[in-house]
Copies of this chain bind each other. A is one copy, B any other.
Amino acid sequence: MAQGLRAAIDFLLYEWLQAQTLCSRARYADHTRETFDAVLDTCERIARDKYAPFNRLVDTEEPRFDGERVILPAATHEAWKAYAASGMLSAAQDYAVGGMQLPYTVEAAGNAFFAAASVSIGAGMLTVGNANLLMAHGTEAQQRAFALPEFAGRFSGTMCLSEPQAGSSLSDIATRAVPDGEGYEADPLGPRYRLRGNKMWISAGEHELTENIVHLVLAKIPGPDGRLPPGVKGISLFIVPKKLVTPDGQLCGQRNDVALAGLNHKCGWRGTTNTLLNFGEGRYPVSAPGLGAGLDGQGAGAIGYRVGEPGQGLRYMFHMMNEARIGVGMAATMLGMAGYLASLDYARTRLQGRPLGPHGKDPAQPPVRIIEHADVKRMLLAQKAYCEGALALELYCARLVDEQRTGEAATADDARLLLEVLTPIAKSWPSEWCLEANSLAIQVHGGYGYTRDFPVEQYWRDNRLNMIHEGTHGIQALDLLGRKVLMEDGRGTRLLGERIAATAERARAVPALAAHAEALAAAWDAVLAATRAAWADGDPVAALANAVPYMQAFGHTVLAWIWLDVALAAAARDGAAHAGRLQACRYFFHYELPKIEAWLRVVRTRDRTCADMAEEAF
């Protein structure tokens, strides 16, 4: 399996995205394609040796709480150790803090191997995102005490947004953060607060993989009247470590009042703990001698250190959430790839049936391998088109991150804005279509596909979470149609349109791709027309009533663009693999892109069928 994945990544990274050209940038000047390859080799090897063999094990041996500790399989501990030892946790960091100064594009490509091998053993996504946020918005002291131990793999990180009564609706969070007495602002680790509240859906919220867990927690600081400020503008961000630390990131021997209230038992992604955490319920009262004056008594809350300014918490957190959304998109993509490659292997060896046609169906002839049946080919080609297309999109987005970080001012700003528009697609599209790919992988296996003797049903279960966590499909769709396509007077949409037009222009010159170029241009025009029609009178209720079908059409159009661009790179080269990419592109244009009309139709007509449905009529 890993072979097919590596070949796909190598092609996209070097032949399509020309990632090696990043080495001409000052930040990456020490790198070459060889050093990039060495990183990919290491990731591939660790994923093969420490992740893949245990993917089923972590599904069947779910995390459990023994009353004191959360028990994970030994394999998960070994995998984490190997991952931390690889240096991938600080792959993108400066040499000065022990990092590799790798482009994010290469980091994302390397991490893909772990997601394909065992998404739920988990790699460093949340820990790295957490530490990155502190590098961007924390004080130097916070970075030293929390981020650096995370990059070293001694600590791990979480993001604590949702609450049981407030999933997607962050304005309703009720976790309270109260200044921790007089002089609370003088704590070397940042303004010190006491937090009380409950956080739901916290991945990796409790475990023994690391010395400590750094929770980044959204909470509200009550006003003078004791009431929490309404809305998202009242949200602040806090570092709440599981165990209290000294300013140089050593444990100071005292547990913070963060208590596991429950493990969520999921249909997939079962190797990762998913928790309900109680902050400040009093189970681990913090008297904290030596932590500073002004503690207002035992059990008065979990200690948290404010990051940045009050009321800016959501903005800081989005720094982490955008990376997390690309990470989720990549995870969904890799689950799809894993299923695709497993079903391809199966189809190449499983004997069954005979081809149709004049000499087929003769029972005296031996059965053929099922890859010779047209419908099996269709299911494999659909998977290839979904998953390799999604992989290209995720790497393209990663490349934009590098552009934003190291490009000239104007191109960096374009990259930032384009990334804003593409992020909802990078999150939502693979979570929908690579899940569909997993269903097709099951289907290729026939009855074997739904048994636990083959890996594909687990990929499918694991992948079902991706349309929900880190922002549901519905949330992504509101973000896209309600915010991203409009922002900066639609400049992001125009930027995307320019890139689409440029790809179409190049493709018009290639006879095999010219018809696709026309189809892409027409599809983009249809998306723009639907966007305008949806917002015709500026009423968000009417505009957003069909935001999800809009996002589906937008996503399919983006993927058609990505595939056509990939096909341009493939068309210039010889060999079966390149021919396969051209065929996958053709599949996408013939079988998939025409679906957008049905989705856009309801957007364009501002169809009210769903919105008008009376509750009592269900």
- Which A residues have a C-beta under 8 Å from some C-beta of B? 162, 165-169, 171-172, 200-201, 230-232, 264-268, 344, 348, 351-357, 363-364, 367, 371-378, 380-381, 384, 439, 442-443, 446-447, 449-453, 457-458, 460-461, 464-465, 467-469, 472-474, 477, 539-541, 544-549, 576-577, 579-580, 583, 586-587, 590-592, 594-595, 597-598, 601-602, 607, 609-618
Q: Are B167 and A447 in contact (CB under 8 A)?
A: yes
| A579 contacts across to B, CB distance below 8 A | 614, 617
Q: Are A232 and B363 in contact (CB under 8 A)?
A: yes
Q: Are A464 and B446 in contact (CB under 8 A)?
A: no
**Given A378-B546, A384-B618, A540-B356; A447-B594 close (CB under 8 Å):** no
Complex: A327 Cα to B484 Cα, angstroms: 47
**Given A452-B267, A617-B576; A464-B468 close (CB under 8 Å):** no
Q: Are A613 and B377 in contact (CB under 8 A)?
A: yes
Complex: A594 Cα to B457 Cα, angstroms: 31
Q: Are B264 and A451 in contact (CB under 8 A)?
A: yes
- Checking B167, B477, B591 against A446 with a beta-carbon cut-off of 8 angstroms, the contacting residue is B167
| A601 contacts across to B, CB distance below 8 A | 590, 594
Q: Are A472 and B446 in contact (CB under 8 A)?
A: yes
Q: Are B609 and A352 in contact (CB under 8 A)?
A: no
Instruction: Return the 3 tightest CB-CB contacts between A and B, nearest first.
Output: A580-B617, A231-B363, A230-B363
Complex: A267 Cα to B590 Cα, angstroms: 33
Closest residue of chain B to A447, judged by CB? Answer: B201
Complex: A447 Cα to B450 Cα, angstroms: 24
Q: How far is the CB of A229 from chain B (nearest CB, A)?
A: 9
Q: How far is the CB of A93 from chain B (nearest CB, A)?
A: 32
Q: Are B609 and A591 in contact (CB under 8 A)?
A: yes
Complex: A378 Cα to B592 Cα, angstroms: 22
Q: Are B442 and A371 in contact (CB under 8 A)?
A: no
Complex: A474 Cα to B540 Cα, angstroms: 43
- Checking B468, B548, B615 against A449 with a beta-carbon cut-off of 8 angstroms, the contacting residue is B468
Interface centre among A264, A468, A546, A618 (most CB of B within 10 A): A618
Q: Are B371 and A265 in contact (CB under 8 A)?
A: no
Number of copies: 2
Complex: A446 Cα to B475 Cα, angstroms: 11
Closest residue of chain B to A352, judged by CB? Answer: B169
Complex: A611 Cα to B371 Cα, angstroms: 10
- Given A265-B452, A266-B452, A587-B610, 9 more pairs with CB closer than 8 A: A162-B447, A201-B447, A344-B618, A374-B611, A384-B618, A442-B468, A449-B468, A461-B461, A591-B607
Closest residue of chain B to A600, judged by CB? Answer: B594
Q: Are A356 and B541 in contact (CB under 8 A)?
A: yes
| A592 contacts across to B, CB distance below 8 A | 598
| A607 contacts across to B, CB distance below 8 A | 590-591
Q: How far is the CB of A291 from chain B (nearest CB, A)?
A: 34
Q: How far is the CB of A555 from chain B (nearest CB, A)?
A: 15
Q: Are A265 and B451 in contact (CB under 8 A)?
A: yes
Complex: A618 Cα to B387 Cα, angstroms: 12
Complex: A602 Cα to B375 Cα, angstroms: 13
Q: Are B577 and A617 in contact (CB under 8 A)?
A: yes
Q: List 17 A-B contacts (CB under 8 A).
A: A165-B352, A168-B353, A172-B363, A230-B363, A266-B452, A266-B457, A267-B452, A267-B458, A356-B540, A375-B477, A375-B610, A381-B610, A447-B469, A461-B461, A580-B618, A587-B609, A594-B597
Q: How far is the CB of A466 from chain B (nearest CB, A)?
A: 10
Complex: A380 Cα to B474 Cα, angstroms: 13
Complex: A460 Cα to B442 Cα, angstroms: 14
Q: Are B464 and A374 in contact (CB under 8 A)?
A: no
Q: Are B461 and A172 in contact (CB under 8 A)?
A: no
Q: How far is the CB of A174 from chain B (nearest CB, A)?
A: 12
| A583 contacts across to B, CB distance below 8 A | 609, 612-613, 617
Q: How far is the CB of A378 from chain B (nearest CB, A)?
A: 4
Q: Are B472 and A443 in contact (CB under 8 A)?
A: yes
Complex: A29 Cα to B374 Cα, angstroms: 51
Q: Are B610 and A374 in contact (CB under 8 A)?
A: yes
Q: Are A168 and B352 in contact (CB under 8 A)?
A: yes
| A268 contacts across to B, CB distance below 8 A | 450
Complex: A135 Cα to B325 Cα, angstroms: 59
Complex: A597 Cα to B601 Cα, angstroms: 13
**Given A378-B546, A580-B613, A591-B609; A451-B266 close (CB under 8 Å):** yes
Q: Are B363 and A171 in contact (CB under 8 A)?
A: yes
| A597 contacts across to B, CB distance below 8 A | 594, 597-598
Q: How far is the CB of A349 from chain B (nearest CB, A)?
A: 12
Q: Are A602 and B591 in contact (CB under 8 A)?
A: yes
Complex: A397 Cα to B618 Cα, angstroms: 25
Q: Are A230 and B472 in contact (CB under 8 A)?
A: no
Complex: A162 Cα to B465 Cα, angstroms: 34
Complex: A172 Cα to B611 Cα, angstroms: 53
- Checking B169, B381, B458 against A609 with a beta-carbon cut-off of 8 angstroms, the contacting residue is B381
Complex: A179 Cα to B319 Cα, angstroms: 76
Closest residue of chain B to A469, judged by CB? Answer: B447
| A590 contacts across to B, CB distance below 8 A | 601-602, 607, 609
| A172 contacts across to B, CB distance below 8 A | 352-353, 363, 367
Complex: A166 Cα to B594 Cα, angstroms: 36
Closest residue of chain B to A232, judged by CB? Answer: B363
| A168 contacts across to B, CB distance below 8 A | 352-353, 446
Closest residue of chain B to A262, judged by CB? Answer: B453
Q: Are A611 and B547 in contact (CB under 8 A)?
A: no
- Checking B453, B468, B540, B545 against A450 with a beta-carbon cut-off of 8 angstroms, the contacting residue is B468
| A586 contacts across to B, CB distance below 8 A | 609
Q: Are A450 and B465 in contact (CB under 8 A)?
A: yes
**Given A264-B451, A452-B265; A613-B357 close (CB under 8 Å):** no
Closest residue of chain B to A165, judged by CB? Answer: B351
Q: Are B618 and A380 in contact (CB under 8 A)?
A: yes
